[in-house]
C-alpha cells in the first residue's frame, strides 16, 4: 500500500470532512516508514504530541522540520508555539513559501521581460489550480515563440494535484519557482499514465549559498518576493520526479473546472484528450516540437533528448489580458 497516497488526502486534500474509507494497518510497520509517514500515522492515531515529545529536536534535518511544520495544525497549541519559536527562521521561511502571493500583472511582466539568454518555458497558473493556465515559450534571444498566424504560441497547462494536496506535501501540486528542463525520458512508456509522447524532465535548481544560483535566474526586484520559494521548500521536502507530460487517462466529467484535463500526482499536465472521437489533442507532441524549433533544431524524435532550458512556474492573480507578450 502507498500510505501517503492513501492517507495524506484524507488529512490535507480532497477527502477532508469525509470518513476514512481504508482501514489503518495493524500493527503499523513503523520500521519501514519515512518520517512523513510516521508523522501521518501518529496523527491518525492521535499520538502526534507524544511522538514529538520523544524526539531529539536538535537532531532533525531541515527536511524533517518542514515535515513537522506540515503537521503543525494537529499539535496542541502550546506545542505549536514552542516549535515556531525554537525554529523561528526555518518556520518563517516555510510560512513565507506556503503563503506566497500570486504575482500581479506588473510583477509577472518583469519576469517575462527578464533576459537569461536561455530557452525558457513559462507555465502561468491561477492560484486556484483546478483550472488550466497557459504555457508559453521564450527563445534564448528573449523573443516569445510565435505560431504560423503571427501570434504568441501557447498551449493550456494544468498544475493541479489529483489528490487536492498543496505543493508542500507528497503528490501535491507543482511548486511555483524556477526549474531546469533536462531533456526527456528515454521512451514514451506507461502511456496510460503519461500519454503517447515522451515527457519532459524537470529538476529543481540545485541548492547554493543563499540560493544565489536560483536568484540569478530572476529579476533583482523579485529577490525579496516569495513566489519562487515554494520550489525551494519542495526541494528540501524531497519532492522529485517532476515532469511535463500528457496522459492516457480520461476525464469523464464535462462539468469539472479543468475538463478535459486529467490532474496528476504533482506534474504539469498537457492535454491529450479525445473528445467524443471528434477531436484528438496532442499538446505534448506540439510542445516537444515547439521546443526543438525554438532551439533551432528540426522537430524529429532524435532531437528531443537535446531539449534543455528553464521552466518558470508562476501564479497570476488576474487574467493575462494586460501582459505585453500577448501583443
Cis peptide leading into residue 27 (ω within 30°): yes
114 lies in the same domain as 204: yes
- The pLDDT value recorded for residue 17 is 66
The answer to whether 183 and 21 have CB atoms below 8 angstroms apart is no
153-206, pLDDT tens digit by residue?
A: 999 999 999 999 999 999 999 999 999 999 999 999 999 899 999 999 999 999
45 vs 33: CA distance, rounded Å: 15
Rounded CA-CA distance 290/313 in Å is 18
Q: Are residues 49 and 183 in the same domain?
A: no
Q: What is the pLDDT of residue 29?
A: 93
Residue 245 contacts residue 135 (beta carbons within 8 Å): no
Q: How many domains does the chain have?
A: 2
The reported pLDDT for the residue numbered 20 is 81
> Within the chain, which residues score under 70 in pLDDT?
16-17, 275-279, 325-327
What per-residue confidence (pLDDT) applies to 279? 59
Structural domain boundaries enclosing 124: 105-326
Name the domain boundary from 78, 98, 118. Answer: 98
Residues 294 and 158 in one domain: yes
**C-alpha span between 319 and 308 (Å, rounded):** 29
- Out of 72, 98, 124, a domain closes at 98
Give yes or no: residues 238 and 151 share one domain: yes
146 plus 73 within the same structural domain = no
Contact (CB, 8 A) for 71 and 37: no
Residue 137 and residue 15 in one domain: no
| Single residue among 98, 132, 162 that ends a domain in this structure | 98
78 and 135 share one domain = no
Contact 119, 291 (CB under 8 A): yes
Amino acid at each position: 500500500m502507498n500510505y501517503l497516497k492513501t492517507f495524506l488526502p484524507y488529512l490535507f486534500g480532497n477527502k477532508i470532512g469525509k470518513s476514512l474509507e481504508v482501514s489503518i494497518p495493524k500493527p503499523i510497520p513503523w520500521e519501514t516508514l519515512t518520517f512523513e509517514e510516521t508523522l501521518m500515522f501518529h496523527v491518525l492515531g492521535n499520538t502526534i504530541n507524544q511522538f514529538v515529545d520523544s524526539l531529539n529536536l536538535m537532531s532533525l534535518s531541515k527536511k524533517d522540520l518542514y515535515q513537522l511544520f506540515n503537521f503543525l495544525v494537529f499539535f496542541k497549541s502550546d506545542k505549536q508555539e514552542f516549535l515556531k519559536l525554537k525554529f523561528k527562521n526555518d518556520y518563517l521561511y516555510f510560512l513565507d513559501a506556503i503563503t506566497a502571493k500570486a504575482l500581479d500583472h506588473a510583477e509577472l511582466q518583469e519576469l517575462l521581460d527578464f533576459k537569461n539568454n536561455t530557452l525558457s518555458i513559462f507555465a502561468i497558473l491561477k492560484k486556484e489550480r483546478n483550472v488550466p493556465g497557459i504555457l508559453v515559450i521564450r527563445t534564448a534571444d528573449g523573443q516569445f515563440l510565435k505560431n504560423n498566424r503571427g501570434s504568441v504560441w501557447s498551449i493550456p497547462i494544468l498544475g493541479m494535484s489529483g489528490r487536492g494536496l498543496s505543493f508542500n506535501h507528497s503528490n501535491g501540486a507543482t511548486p511555483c519557482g524556477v526549474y531546469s528542463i533536462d531533456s526527456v525520458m528515454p521512451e514514451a512508456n506507461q502511456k496510460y499514465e503519461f500519454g503517447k509522447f515522451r515527457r519532459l524532465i524537470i529538476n529543481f535548481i540545485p541548492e547554493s549559498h543563499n540560493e544565489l544560483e536560483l536568484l540569478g535566474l530572476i529579476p533583482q526586484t523579485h529577490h525579496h518576493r516569495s513566489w519562487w520559494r515554494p520550489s525551494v521548500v519542495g526541494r528540501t521536502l524531497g519532492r522529485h520526479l517532476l515532469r511535463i507530460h500528457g496522459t492516457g487517462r480520461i476525464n469523464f466529467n464535462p462539468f469539472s473546472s479543468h475538463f478535459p484535463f486529467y490532474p496528476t500526482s504533482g506534474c504539469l499536465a498537457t492535454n491529450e484528450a479525445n473528445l467524443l472521437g471528434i477531436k484528438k489533442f496532442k499538446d505534448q507532441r506540439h510542445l516537444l516540437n515547439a521546443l526543438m524549433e525554438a532551439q533551432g533544431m528540426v522537430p524529429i524524435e532524435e532531437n528531443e533528448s537535446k531539449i534543455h532550458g528553464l521552466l518558470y512556474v508562476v501564479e497570476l492573480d488576474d487574467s493575462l489580458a494586460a501582459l505585453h507578450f500577448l501583443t
